[in-house]
Amino acid sequence: MPVRRVTKHGEKVLKTACPPLDYEAIKGELPALLKDMWATMQAARGVGLAAPQIGLSMRLCVIDVRPDGKSQRLVLINPEIVSLDGELNDEEGCLSLPGVYHKLRRRARARVRALDENGVSRELSGEGLLARAFQHEIDHLDGKLFVDRLEFEDKLKVLDAIKTARPNWD
């Protein structure tokens, strides 16, 4: 169950939109891949991890925001936003930008459709942190990081913070 290296801001795989995943083609290797993703996410103390963050351009992500302190593992394959509403301005971070956080306005509620690890199509609803995680992880699959969504002035601040933090990244 190896923990994989997490790709960092500036690496090409994080800027590239991932092509849809062919479930039938991947299902044999999916259990081992998911084990690695969970191990990597937990080692980094994250609440979500997208495949490009371990260098794979695949529309696949895992999320566990631990509602009520209990693990609730979600696997999303080819996720799509079904609906969004409300707004919430909250602090956001990313395992690909270690040590860098900034407030970002996101939608407060999100409904997504995705295949689960068994290839079954499901719809999931989330509020607050889970809604944020859906939006953040789907952004990763579209080649976007949260810093890309900031207003100009905030982006400059965060780019400065990245410059300071980068020497400590692996």
Cα–Cα distance for residue pair 136/61, rounded to 1 Å: 10
- Identity at 68, one-letter amino acid code: D
Residue whose Cβ sits closest to Ni ion: 94
Q: Which of these segments, 57-65, 90-98, 105-113, 114-122, binds Ni ion (CB under 5 A)?
A: 90-98
94 binds Ni ion (CB under 5 A): yes
Cα–Cα distance for residue pair 79/134, rounded to 1 Å: 9
The DSSP letter of residue 5 is P
Q: Which of these segments, 1-9, 92-100, 107-115, 121-129, binds Ni ion (CB under 5 A)?
A: 92-100
DSSP-derived 3-state class of residue 160: helix
Please report how close the Cβ of residue 24 comes to Ni ion at its closest, in angstroms: 28
| Identity of the residue, 58 or 94, whose beta carbon is nearer to Ni ion in the bound complex | 94
Q: Is 92 designated active site?
A: no
Half-sphere exposure of 56 (CA within 13 A, CB side): 18
Q: Which of these segments, 36-44, 79-87, 89-97, 99-107, binds Ni ion (CB under 5 A)?
A: 89-97
Burial class (CB within 10 angstroms; exposed 0-12, middle 13-18, buried 19+) of 129: middle
63 binds Ni ion (CB under 5 A): no
Instruction: Give how many residues touch Ni ion by CB under 5 A.
Output: 1
Catalytic residues: 137
**Residues at the site binding Ni ion, with contacts judged by CB under 5 A:** 94
